[in-house]
Amino acid sequence: MSRTLFDLTGRRALVTGSSQGIGLALARGLQDAGAEVVLNGRDLSKLEQAGETLGSDVRLLPFDVTDHAAVRQAIDGFEEATGPIDILVNNAGMQHRAPLEDFPAEAFERLLGTNVSSVFNTGQAVARHMISRGRGKIINIASVQTALARPSIAPYTATKGAVGNLTKGMATDWAKYGLNCNAIAPGYFETPLNAALVADPEFSGWLAKRTPAGRWGKVEELVGACIFLASDAASFVNGHVLYVDGGITASL
């Protein structure tokens, strides 16, 4: 019984921004749990390379998550041609670092579009189909910055705070239709997005002291949380932000 709670066989999962890093790791984990995986990104060649690492049963759905009309067209077309999306992982995101007093306005707008609008665009497009079926799982990728701030990333912190609250809003509006809407908030993980920080001995030393676990996270360590929230085991979990951060938000 306990094993079947986490079995995703027969379900289809769309993971945005899944050509590398956390998105690809989560896609691989969902596939290992039995789900059929749909990879998304803007760069088809990168998606094809990622798809090759997961095998021939992976589907590719390239679209720009920041373009509301394009997202709606892609999702509606996929549902009509292929079938239901049972699980959505809103993973697409970006980072830009600069002192707040010098932060470029155009970079702020890009962060809003990629980190917040994408969650709204894709979440709404998929949820409309999930609502008609009376079931569905939406998992938004938030961040330790949903709760904490650091110098030079104030706008990123604002966007991830928005993802956390948008997740609560999704649950508030859509739980009555049978949807489970939750978020995973990763701490500091070794990803392409954090490559410069990983390579910085000073920052890595600070992080080891600041994090109770004493190290960077591995992307594979996010998979269990994703499978849980995507599965029947989380049938009464809604509007929750699950921190997977080695204890950094629990400790001063």
243 is catalytic: no
Residue 215 token pair: 């190290």
Whole-number Å distance between alpha carbons of 185 and 187: 7
Catalytic residue among 156, 177, 188, 243: 156
Count of other CB atoms within 10 angstroms of residue 147: 17
Three-state SS at 138: strand
Spatial CA neighbour of 141 closest among 21, 7, 1: 21
Rounded CA separation 31/38 (Å): 10
- d(CA 62, CA 85) in angstroms, rounded, equals 15
The catalytic site residues sit at 156
